[in-house]
Chain A
Amino acid sequence: MLTSNYLLLLLLIPFVSALLIPVLGTRVVNAVSMAIAGLYFLVVLMGWNSWNLSFSADWYEPLGLKYSLYLDSYSYLLILLSSFLTILCLLYSWKVVEAKQKAYHSLFHLLQATVVACLLSEDLVFFYVFWEAMLIPMYFIIGVWGGPRRLYATMKFFLFTFSGSILMLIGLICLYVFFYQQTGVWTASFEVLREHFQSHPLPFYIEQLIFMSFVVSFAIKVPLFPFHTWLPDAHVEAPTAGSVILAGVLLKMGTYGLMRFAIPMFPAAAASFATPLSVLSVVGIILGAVVAWRQSDIKKLIAYSSVSHLGFVTLGIFALTETSWNGAFLQMINHGITTGALFLLIGFIYDQKHSRDIERFGGLAKQLPRFSLIFIIMSLSSVGLPGTNGFIGEFMILLGSFQSEVVSKLWVVLASTGVILSAIYTLHLVQKLCFGKPAEDNSFMKDIGWKEYLLYTPLVVLVFVIGLYPKWIIAPIHETTSAIFNLMPNGMR
């Protein structure tokens, strides 16, 4: 049985390695960094099934701020996903990223550390601190190793997310101060605040305002329409590994924040905003899909497809049923796997051809058969073909949303058209890329080798393992979902 020190270990390993890597010799950086990432993944795996651990230490005692950590299956699965994707990213970057390797690896570990800290935190201020701190490594990863318009993209990324979160800070401080004014105790502990404001509700409009301050911040990160405009820029300019982490982990922080903090804190306010927010999700689903269809830059296409897919996730969240939440959370994981894999695959051909223009490819199925096979599997998973992981997630979201009491069925029906649209743009991409006549000579391109096998095999395996036998992952998800729903007032369930 693991003790609470395990959480400390989870938190400290990436921090320490981020500090350790810069002092290593240049030659061993890659190996050591990957070894640490692998080790970390094993450490995370060890914690399977031992959630509900907690840890607490004083940060600033007079104002009741604590470094308090709590692990449930939500945060556990996302930490697992993040540590898994980090290994793949570092493996991918091996021999691809040659410039400033120490800083690169150090920043990835730092990013991992801040993400884990954010996922583990139970204290709202502590959460906020790492929610913001997460931006710094990503800012540098995009800005230093990114494409030609990286400065614009990274600035936009930072400012968008920062603007949202500073409003959340005000909302969060309001909660923190109101609690003090009502009880005379300073604390930012989520559980304590939640319990208190459930039994002593604030005036409803204040609840709504604070809820919205949280939602705006999370929605920008997700990103929910109309806050999505930073995402295509950031994705296009980010280095491949940066895109993978951005899509696979950072976007999930937004939906995680909604599920873990914003909605459990103010279920009533959430229900009152369910319709507008789910409409925005549906708009995101359809708009993202249509825009993705018209893209010629492959990375931009996948970025817009992320907007569309995460629209499903937010729809599931705002539908406020247990099934849709389970589906939404599963879809978060799926999206991390599938989109992460797609970005890695695009990165693989981009590194050879230095182009992402969809028109300049074609007929890759003949030249790169193994690549094309994996690409097609991942695309089908992204479409949500039965048998793949994407199907389970989308199905559960739609099923759950259809039973919802707060979201009209009309919106769910409209959302389901997103599934068709996603088939259109994804198959369009597959067709342009893998089939037909090549637009120009691609004969110099090499098919995937052992390193890429190592990269893609686990992802392909996961697609089918989740697609064919989802129970192993849905069971732990459901545990936390039902725990959260049990605490909500009766009208919500």
Chain B
Amino acid sequence: MMATLISDLQLSVSIWAWPLVALAVVIAQIVFQNSRLSFLISILGLGANLIYSLWCFDLAPVQALFFGAVIFDSLTQFLNVLALFIALGCLFISSPGMFSQDNFFRVHYEQYSEFLVCLILSGFGAVVAFSANDLTCFFLGVETLAIGTYCLCGFFRTEIRSSESALKYLFIGGFSTVVLLYGIAFIYGSTGFTRFDEISRVIAAGDKPLVLMAVLFTMAGLAFKLALVPFHIYTPDVYEGAPTAVTAYLATMVKLAAVGISLRIFWSCFGAVSEVWIPFWTSLCVASIIFGNIAALQQKSLKKLLAFSSVSHAGFLGLGLLLADPSRGIGFALFSYLAIYSGMSLGVFAIVALLEDRSKVFMLEDLKGLGLAKPLYGIALAILVLGLAGIPPLAGFMIKFWIFQQLVEQSYFAVAILAALGSIVGVAYYLKILMYLFMSGDSDWGLATRWSVLRDQIFSVRSLILAAVLLSLIGGLKPDFYAHWILTTFALK
């Protein structure tokens, strides 16, 4: 007993290292009271974890740990690595705000360690959620993730928009949790098990009248997390009010976790009744792609626009999930979409964080002339935005290409055409951003001067932007480097 526990702990270092880092930050803050030190500890801790996870990337057969509560398979490891990248990216994004001489941020500087702890712990929640093999463990993970994000959204507590964001997210998130819990109750009620493998066995074995209810409620709960239409209504306000690093976190980490757990729930638990959930899920995804893009077209606030754009990307992620049928051994489109989309989003939010003036809403018009005042940042943003729009030869095109290719391969022709039409709308608003960047004439770009004095020298953010741009460029022209990794990880063809 003890021996298995110890060996389980050894195997899952990269999971429980997360709270360990958070703990180290807490202790350091109590002893030294230095936010910079806390930041350094978080970066080093997560970085070490990342290196360790990559180093020990283990393609051995599936391991169920802790008496079957956690499953440490290639999916867990892959998503864990991505989660570490995302958490580091979000920390980098948060750094300029925290370390600037700007008065607004100095007020919050004292509490920066709390921000770090919340972020790391909610990341831990995400990891627990997608590595869970048991409904209870899964629910604990989801809640840890959610509670952390509520705190993060309201981190600028003196600011009304931030509080609004937190409150809205808390209410709607709480509601979605209840719905998810209801679905979990139905699963348990109809099968009598909490372990995924046993649930799937029971569901596959026979006709369970309650399975439909279980599927619908669980799906609704997960769609809230992934922000699929019509469960996306909270995104614009929450994304806009939250600190930009947190917005990036919501758009990447929460979606990553949602995709991971949906993958487990849908394909591991409900794999046998896929004909029940596929029509519902497909319509949610297609609706997200189309309505998310149409809604984004109307936005004047940059962060709201990005919020709706993330809704449409969630639709593509959802389609990827639909295609990731493990019995056919394909999930390549989903995983590459997840990785590349997260990278590009982090890059975009990093630029937004650099430019942002927290005292007012960041309107699209505030971008006017940035491309002329700061051509390098303008070009970087242009490459990332075109990447998100899916214009070749950038990485964003390749990931959409793979989604389309697998849709056609599995004969979802209508879905492919609707998704393609939706992404035409998407291009329109991404082009609008470029228009403000480069084509609005030489306006007096007050923000440019202010920003160049204040935050131009922040190395961490600049390196993050550079990495994202390179990912977007190289990922399109030579996708092997990540594709190979995904293929070998999941032993795909």
Contact = CB atoms under 8 A, between A and B. Distances in A.
Interface of A: 59-63, 100, 103, 125, 128-130, 132-133, 135-136, 139-140, 143-144, 150-151, 154-155, 158-159, 162-163, 166-167, 169-170, 173-174, 176-177, 180-181
Contacts of B19: none
A177 B408 contact: yes
Contact of B435 (A100, A130, A143, A181): A143
Nearest to B398: A60
A167 B397 CA distance: 14
B404 A169 contact: yes
A159 B434 CA distance: 14
B439 A144 contact: yes
B420 A140 contact: no
Contact of B405 (A130, A159, A177): A177
A227 B29 CA distance: 65
Interface in B175-225: none
B203 to A, nearest CB: 30
A184 to B, nearest CB: 11
Which 4 A-B residue pairings sit nearest by Cβ, starting from the closest? A129-B392, A143-B439, A166-B420, A177-B408
Most chain A beta carbons < 10 A, residue from B392, B420, B428, B435: B392
A139 B385 CA distance: 14
Nearest to B391: A132
Contacts of B140: none
B480 interface: yes
A59 B431 contact: no
A214 to B, nearest CB: 14
A167 B392 contact: no
B450 interface: no
B39 interface: no
A155 B435 contact: yes
Interface string B368-398: 0000100100000000001000011100011
A100 B369 CA distance: 13
B473 to A, nearest CB: 12
Interface in B462-493: 476-480, 483, 487, 493
Contacts of B416: 170, 173
Contacts of B421: 163, 166
Contacts of A163: 421, 424
At the interface, is chain B mostly helix, strand, loop or mixed? helix
B427 A158 contact: yes
B292 to A, nearest CB: 17
Given A144-B438, A155-B435, A170-B417, A177 B427 contact: no
A132 B428 CA distance: 14
B431 A155 contact: yes
A158 B425 CA distance: 12
Contacts of B477: 59
B423 interface: yes
B362 interface: no
B401 interface: yes
B409 A181 contact: yes
Contacts of B438: 140, 143-144
B164 to A, nearest CB: 33
Nearest to A164: B424
Contacts of B398: 60
At the interface, is chain A mostly helix, strand, loop or mixed? helix
Given A63-B405, A132-B391, A151-B435, 5 more contacts: A154-B439, A155-B431, A155-B432, A155-B435, A166-B424
Interface in B438-464: 438-439
A105 to B, nearest CB: 14
A129 B420 contact: no
A211 to B, nearest CB: 16
A136 B408 contact: no
Most chain A beta carbons < 10 A, residue from B386, B405, B424, B435: B405
Contacts of A174: 408, 413
27 contacts: A60-B478, A63-B405, A128-B392, A129-B392, A129-B393, A129-B476, A132-B392, A133-B392, A136-B391, A139-B431, A139-B434, A143-B434, A143-B435, A143-B439, A151-B435, A154-B435, A155-B431, A155-B435, A166-B421, A166-B423, A166-B424, A169-B420, A170-B404, A170-B420, A173-B404, A173-B405, A177-B408
Contacts of A132: 391-392, 397
A159 B420 contact: no
B233 to A, nearest CB: 28
A173 B401 contact: yes
Contacts of B439: 143-144, 150-151, 154
Given A166-B420, A170-B416, A155 B401 contact: no
B180 to A, nearest CB: 35
Contacts of B386: 136
Nearest to B389: A162
A167 B420 contact: yes
Contacts of B404: 169-170, 173
A176 to B, nearest CB: 7
A206 to B, nearest CB: 10
Contact of B480 (A61, A100, A128, A173): A61
Contacts of A176: 405
Contacts of B392: 128-130, 132-133
Contacts of A129: 392-393, 397, 476
Contact of B424 (A63, A136, A159): A159
Nearest to A155: B431
Contacts of B480: 60-61
B408 A159 contact: no
Nearest to A135: B391
A60 B483 contact: yes
B397 A162 contact: no
A181 to B, nearest CB: 7
A181 B406 CA distance: 12
Nearest to A145: B439
Given A159-B427, A162-B427, A169 B409 contact: no
Nearest to B493: A62
A484 B211 CA distance: 58
A155 B408 contact: no
A408 to B, nearest CB: 33
A125 B398 CA distance: 10
A306 to B, nearest CB: 24
B393 A130 contact: yes
Nearest to B394: A133
Contacts of A170: 404, 408, 413, 416-417, 420
